[in-house]
Amino acid sequence: MARLYQRHRTVQEGEPMRVRDIRISIKTKEDLFKEIKEVWGKVEKREDVKKHEGISFENIEAMRKILSEERVRILKTIKKERPKSIYELAKFLNRDIKNTFDDVRFLAQIGLIELKKTKEGREKTVPKVNYDRILLEIRV
């Protein structure tokens, strides 16, 4: 099971671009509840709480199912080629449009892809990857 923690940030004009990371972690339910309890305690004391963005999985097997080699290839292709539509992405990948659409929609649901609707002629859905690296964190 994947859990999503997101925050959105807009880069202002003139602000330097920096490498953006998304963090993927393996956490047990107990670790997650402990983290939530710690954050809640800080909120109650009106202390600053550090925002973070990422996805947490209960185990490596769950992560592997969701981040298959093909889905990682989709992320890399979107970042490199900047397709103007999911159809164009499928062409870059040499994949069936329906399978590509299903994977893109799933990756968008868990927060790894942003989908933008455009109306240049026909309405299109443009997939975007707004980070540069995926960092894997496993507590030992």
8-state DSSP, 11: P
Residue 99: what residue type? N
pLDDT classification of 18: cutoffs 50, 70, 90:
low
The sign of the torsion formed by the CA atoms of 15, 80, 55, 23 equals: negative
* Nearest alpha carbon to residue 113 among 75, 68, 66: 75
Q: What is the pLDDT of residue 51?
A: 73
Domains of the chain: 2-138 (1.10.10.10)
Considering only residues 41 and 120, tell me which one the structure prediction assigns the higher pLDDT.
41
Neighbours of 2 (CB within 10 A): 17
Tell me the per-residue pLDDT of 21-45, one tens digit each, with 9 for 90 and over: 888 999 888 888 888 888 888 888 8
Q: What is the mean pLDDT of residues 105-134?
A: 91
- CA dist 80 and 90 (Å) reads 14
